[in-house]
Amino acid sequence: MNGKKVVIIGGVALGPKTACRLKRLVPEAEVVIIDQDEYISYGGCGIPYFISGDVNSVQDLMSTSFHMLRTPQFFQDVKDVKVRSRTRATAIDREKRTVRILDLTSGAEEDLPYDHLVIATGSTPARLPIPGVDLPGVTSVTNLHSAMAVKDRISSGKVDRAVIVGAGAIGCEMAEALGDLWGIETHLVEIADQVLPGILAPSLAAIVKKHLEQKGVRFLPGRRVAAIRPGDEEGRLEVELTPDETIRAELVITAAGVRPNCELAKKAGLVTGASGALVVNKMLQTSDPRIFAGGDCIEISHLITGKSVFFPQGSLANRQGRVIGTNIAGGCAKFEGTVGSFSMKIFDLGIASAGITPQAAIQNGFDAQSVLVVQADRAHFYPTQDLIYFQLTVDRKTRRILGAQALGANGDAVAGRINAIAAILPFRPTIEELSNLEIAYSPPFASALDVVNAAANTAENILEGLNRPMEPAEFERCFIDEQDADCLCLDVRSAANAAPFVKRYGSRWLNIPQETLGTRMDEVPKDKRLLLVCNSGVRSYEAMRQLETAAITNTVNVQGGVAALKKTGALPETSEGEKGQNG
Amino acid sequence: MNGKKVVIIGGVALGPKTACRLKRLVPEAEVVIIDQDEYISYGGCGIPYFISGDVNSVQDLMSTSFHMLRTPQFFQDVKDVKVRSRTRATAIDREKRTVRILDLTSGAEEDLPYDHLVIATGSTPARLPIPGVDLPGVTSVTNLHSAMAVKDRISSGKVDRAVIVGAGAIGCEMAEALGDLWGIETHLVEIADQVLPGILAPSLAAIVKKHLEQKGVRFLPGRRVAAIRPGDEEGRLEVELTPDETIRAELVITAAGVRPNCELAKKAGLVTGASGALVVNKMLQTSDPRIFAGGDCIEISHLITGKSVFFPQGSLANRQGRVIGTNIAGGCAKFEGTVGSFSMKIFDLGIASAGITPQAAIQNGFDAQSVLVVQADRAHFYPTQDLIYFQLTVDRKTRRILGAQALGANGDAVAGRINAIAAILPFRPTIEELSNLEIAYSPPFASALDVVNAAANTAENILEGLNRPMEPAEFERCFIDEQDADCLCLDVRSAANAAPFVKRYGSRWLNIPQETLGTRMDEVPKDKRLLLVCNSGVRSYEAMRQLETAAITNTVNVQGGVAALKKTGALPETSEGEKGQNG
């Protein structure tokens, strides 16, 4: 291994991590990183926070935690790693074990020999197949150049209105970045019918949508951009949407996903998968065992579905970088795959997820059951408590946990619960294991029976048939939108809490407080489908059990109760008489 | 099962939970809860927050999340559960299946028949075997009566000085409660040599100790109370300590642990274990299968050591209550044991733990290695980031994770990491599984390579012999206390960061910034043991690897770096020139 030559193509996340790990294990290795850009080793995930102003400068994204700029000189001095920036790899000769490189400044070409090659070429924003995407003012925000250009444009004061194309993670983060500090009128266009399509369950997506709208973002679901045209001489653009609408804006940000950069590897005959990304084994070797690959240009195994997926994440790139470094040094480290965890902040909401959504579960052939619970993030008597909206997906047949997602105002508390789920998912946990999962308890940081346990218990009750759930969206459809005459809402909260709704919905909204239900069974209509509600779904579940004793079984329990119905926008947030949150 | 009679002795946490779960499954069951107190079903863990004033009234601790008082009437109306408060169970006749009860108000006695009995008698504070423990002003704080008495005494303005006996979780929480809002001069007496003995690793305990002292609490380790005497006519007490010291105080709180209440069960011939608590199987049946037990009066299996332990926790009581309810209803739920997770807030520190400490690991025969890392709780460039001090314990032989503990200013972020560890511990994870654990990533909520992963990677490096760690306490002993002439501190941070220390420690503190080390190897003394430091232990690890290439191997890496040394009080926090935190 002494003096082995290692060439790494790509210098953002995985490349530098691989280089540093390798050099710590084998100081005498000759490691060179090639990157066509002038900027290397930066925190790309921090770009939305640079644009919003939370992070002051791009230098912060390029610095170590001890405030040293990660320049090529830094890598030379501190890591003994050579970085050649503004240098493009143009061809790989696997026979000769060389990489042809082009110096973008001088135009000089050269062949670099390697014993091991690492492909860390990352990804590129998907290009929208529409006219006008190359106009000035239309941009993605996935590298520092575009990030700085966008921030310059914004801070010049010339952007009053912006259109973001794609309501995925980057699109939503950018909506906050533009709206929060800069006060830009922001239109968020999404071809699917919800925000964060494919990655967030509809019940939680409805909450995010409402929150975005409360913060002034205009969300346009079910729309796509047909064309972008120059609007006037001041650089304004006309964004034409289908169905019919045209928005005039000074800035258009495209955030329609990313594609792996695998052209170079493909040309060299390395195997790619259905997603277009490189196929690797668990040691992160490509189809040529001397060539490793990782980060945003590979497919990895999804530990829930068992399928190969393209799941670009800076955190995974870092972990994979360490694995590759170890393996080139002669070790045998493995990267088993992903449970697909992520988090994000959108204005005042923290959101986190691990595993798959109920929709993805169904698509993957699971007999999926979705569960929604709403509970305080700490003891309900502790003053700083706030609600967590927690969605759990389980497989009915095997009782396996398939995924969990949550959101709330205290993002650290939300992420902390999802971290627990992310941790156990590789071990294929069952509902029972989640039911007794030991969230670290004390009143300032958890409930005695935490929201994670409550979600598992609710899942069990649903699977046992004790709790017949109705999702907030289904309640909205049948009770609010269609005003289904066969449905009656039975509100088991106090009279004061129910009063505004009784007033609004009249005889369709019946109030019998749960503590009086035992003696008032004869008031419950037998000829209607009863939609049971309380504040969170707990008392209404208890009411369902009580009604069963009187042979009243045409009931469903509205998951998350009035808390979820208000938060998703199904019910108005107008009723002043209400108290309490968790019942 | 129809109409089966179930008697539950004890109405605080497990008893009510069992009753409610059972009634939801079997509405026709006749369930009665007996409790000798007038107060039932309250959040006992909230008592310190009631005393501090964070929680306004004891009613808050006795209320549901929807603000309904959990009185006997509430249980009757809402749960169809009969509660007989101020009623003591005096004998169990297992042959006849009856419980003899005594009405403490009327003095009437009665035999209650049962099909199933649940023993939920909880625990009682350990009584100190010293003169004066019954004097007015000496009290524990484990029930609402004593809590209200303490708060009355404090709020009357008569308490200027207090002594707390025992620096366990309750003792430390009470130190905050008395000091924070009330400004009482508080002396915390502990027989062991650290705060939170037995439950917190010494490195973290040193941080908590310093924090308590910064908040004005006087910590007296290695002391015990010999006697308490009436001090004067105004109710002041004299607290005599060994070794010699006498403190005059208006309030003495004893917090020396709790003992399971098992007299009744023992009299009835039920089997207890070494701890004095009841022995149960996984279905939580006692040695009499008709009699279940749970909560603070049973032994449970520790999932790390495999031993039976007495681990009273409100959160476990709630989970066990559900298991018992299910099993009495004819189900087959199991409680496998505990990983010993807990959290607590002490002034501005959030603390959380799962598994066992390094000391406990050694006592239990593991080949334990302790690891300390210090890292930001979110991306280091994100503005609200703060440091987490993270301690990991692993077994060298099997590479199994035995425990983790952490603390920091953002308690939710701290607890969120420990929740992930608590979640996987039952699955006997290895270092490698922690290394790739998918903490939900985005810059506002985690690092790309999170502190959890960093701790696992550090553990691996230590086990591989790449990183030779030194604990902060060991640094303090040899460098500060003993001024060992064979030791030299090599500070690889910037000159500005190191300057105050070079000034203070002279030639014993050598500064060679890590980026210059490669060219300055000849300046490194070869005849000394080098204690390598940076801000966190990361750059100093890299320096260790570099020095190895020059055959300089008499080196150790100070874990947690200057950040940990300052936080534990080993080094003064005086140096203004310093910047950065994670290097």
Tens digit of each residue's pLDDT (9 = 90 or more) over B333-350: 999 999 999 999 999 999
Which has the closest alpha carbon to A70: A42, A100, A107?
A: A42
Question: Is pLDDT above 70 for B574?
Answer: no
Mutation to test the B interface, candidates A14, A65, A351, A533, most B Cβ within 10 Å: A65
pLDDT tens readout for residues B518-549: 999 999 999 999 999 999 999 999 999 999 99
Could you tell me if the ipTM is greater than 0.90? yes
Q: Give the Å distances, CA to CA, from A312 to A285, A295, A355, A409, B374.
A: 18, 7, 15, 26, 27
Q: Smallest Cα–Cα separation from A19: which of A28, A10, A8?
A: A8
* Mutation site for A-interface testing, chosen from B438, B447, B544 by largest number of A Cβ within 10 Å: B438
Q: Do A45 and B534 touch (CB under 8 A)?
A: no
Residues A315, B441: C-beta atoms closer than 8 Å: yes
Would you call B438 and A422 a contact, using CB atoms and an 8 Å cutoff? yes
Give the integer Cα–Cα distance in Å for B412 and A410: 9
Cβ-Cβ contacts under 8 Å between A and B: the total is 326
DSSP one-letter string for B262-309:
-HHHHHTT--B-TTSSBP--TT-B-SSTTEEE-STTB-EEBTTT--EE
Average the pLDDT over B28-56 and give the result: 94
Per CB-CB distance under 8 Å, the chain A contacts of B74 are: 515
Nearest to B444 among A65, A314, A345 (CB): A345
Q: Under an 8 A CB cutoff, do A420 and B415 touch?
A: no
How far is residue B132 from each of residues A152, B226, B231, B238, B364, measured CA to CA in Å? Answer: 74, 10, 11, 10, 37
User: Which tokens in the block code for residue A340?
Assistant: 């697909």
> How many angstroms away from the CA of A245 is the closest CA of chain B?
34
Give the residue on A whose Cα is nearest the Cα of B67.
A580
Long-range contacts of B498-506 (CB under 8 A, 24+ apart): B499/B575, B499/B577, B500/B574, B500/B575, B500/B576, B500/B577, B500/B578, B501/B562, B501/B571, B501/B575, B504/B572
Residue A315 vs residues A44, A143, A234, A357: alpha-carbon distances, Å? 11, 17, 41, 21
Residues of A in contact with B413 (CB under 8 A): 412, 415-416
Chain A partners of B445 at a C-beta cutoff of 8 Å?
A: 343, 345, 350, 352, 411-412, 415
Upper half-sphere CA count for residue B305 (Cβ side, 13 Å):
21
Q: CATH number for B342-463: choose from 2.40.30.60, 3.90.1300.10, 3.50.50.60, 3.40.50.2300.
A: 3.50.50.60
Q: Which residue in A has a C-alpha nearest to residue B580's C-alpha?
A: A66
- Tokens read off for B500: 């105050």
pLDDT of residue B576 exceeding 70: no
Percentage of chain B lying above the pLDDT 90 cut: 95
Using a CB-CB distance cutoff of 8 angstroms, which residues of chain B are in contact with residue A493?
A: 66
SS3 A393: strand
Name the residue facing A314 among B64, B338, B441 (closest C-beta): B441
Q: Which of B20, B45, B478, B487 is catalytic?
A: B45
Residue A577 is predicted with a pLDDT of: 44
- In the predicted structure, residue B16 carries a pLDDT above the cut 80: yes
Provide the terminal-to-terminal Cα distance of chain A, rounded to the nearest Å.
64
Task: Find, among B120, B121, B119, B117, the residue nearest to B6 by Cα.
Answer: B117
Q: What is the pLDDT of residue A582?
A: 40
CA-based nearest distance A322→chain B, Å: 9
Pairwise CB contact (< 8 Å): B445 & A518 = no
Closest residue in chain A to residue B380, using alpha carbons only: A65
* Smallest CA–CA distance from B431 into chain A, residue: A333
- Yes or no, beta carbons of A77 and B314 under 8 Å apart: no
Question: How far is B102 from chain A, CA to nearest CA, in Å?
Answer: 29
Nearest to B343 among A55, A382, A441 (CB): A441
The CATH number of the domain covering residues in B469-567: 3.40.250.10
**Contacts of residue A534 in chain B, CB cutoff 8 Å?**
66
Q: Where are the domains of chain B?
A: 5-123+259-328, 138-256, 342-463, 469-567
Q: What tens digit of pLDDT does each residue of A161-190 get?
A: 999 999 999 999 999 999 888 999 999 999
Same CATH topology for B5-123+259-328 and B342-463: the answer is yes
Q: Kindly determine whether residue B422 and residue A410, on different chains, have CB atoms separated by under 8 Å.
A: no
Mean pLDDT value across chain B = 95
Report the pLDDT value the prediction gives residue A580, as an integer from 0 to 100: 42
* Nearest partner of B429 among B404, B458, B465, B464, judged by Cα: B404
**Low-confidence stretches of chain A (pLDDT beneath 50):** 1, 576-583
- What pTM did the predictor assign? 0.96
CB-nearest to A446 from B13, B333, B343 is B343
Which residue among B66, B335, B548 sits closest to A436, beta carbon to beta carbon? Answer: B335
* H helix intervals, A140-252: 144-155, 169-180, 202-214
The CATH code belonging to domain B5-123+259-328 is 3.50.50.60
Q: Are strands B123-125 and B258-260 parallel, antiparallel or unpaired?
A: antiparallel
3-state secondary structure at position A211: helix
Instruction: Give how far B12 is from chain A: nearest CA, Å.
Output: 13
Of A316, A420, A449, Cβ closest to residue B315? A449
pLDDT higher than threshold 60 for residue B70:
yes
Asked if the Cβ–Cβ distance from B438 to A354 is below 8 Å, we say: yes
Provide the shortest C-alpha distance from residue A537 to chain B (in Å): 12
Distance in angstroms (rounded) separating the CA atoms of residues A39 and A72: 9
pLDDT of residue A60: 93
Cβ separation A317–B448 shorter than 8 A: yes
Angstrom distance (rounded) from CA B523 to CA B491: 13
Domain A138-256, what fold?
FAD/NAD(P)-binding domain (3.50.50)
Q: Do B77 and A335 touch (CB under 8 A)?
A: no
- Chain B interface test: which of A374, A418, A436, A542 (most B C-beta within 10 Å): A436
Q: How far apart are CA B537 and CA A125, in angstroms?
A: 37
pLDDT classification of B582: cutoffs 50, 70, 90: very low
pLDDT at B181 over 90: no
End-to-end CA distance of chain B: 64
* Cross-chain residue pair B440–A341, CB shorter than 8 Å: yes
Query: Which candidate from A338, A411, A433 shows the least CB-CB separation from B444?
Result: A411
A580 contact residues in B (CB cutoff 8 A): 64-67
| Spatial distance between the Cα atoms of B104 and B187, rounded to a whole number of angstroms | 38
Instruction: Please state, in angstroms and rounded to a whole number, the distance separating the CA atoms of residues A498 and A396.
Output: 34
DSSP assigned state of A78? I
Beta strand ranges found along B25-142 (DSSP E): 30-34, 82-84, 87-93, 98-103, 109-113, 116-119, 123-125, 138-139
pLDDT of residue B235 exceeding 90: no
Testing the interface with A: which of B373, B412, B418 to mutate, by most A Cβ within 10 A?
A: B412
Examine the residue annotation and report whether B45 is marked as an active-site residue of this protein: yes
Fold of the A5-122+259-328 domain: FAD/NAD(P)-binding domain (3.50.50)
- For residue B449, list chain A residues with Cβ-Cβ distance below 8 A: 17, 315, 318-319, 322
Taking CA atoms, what residue in A is nearest to B548?
A27
In chain A, residues with a C-beta closer than 8 Å to the C-beta of B410 are 412
Instruction: Identify all chain A residues contacting B340, using CB atoms and an 8 Å cutoff.
Output: 438
Test mutation, B172, B419, B439, B546, chain A, max A CBs within 10 A: B419
> Token match 């009499």: residue?
B288
CA distance A488 to A525: 9
Selecting from B338, B435, B441 the residue whose C-beta is nearest the C-beta of A313 gives B441
Q: Indicate the residue type of A482.
A: E
B578 pLDDT above the threshold of 60:
no
SS3 B468: coil
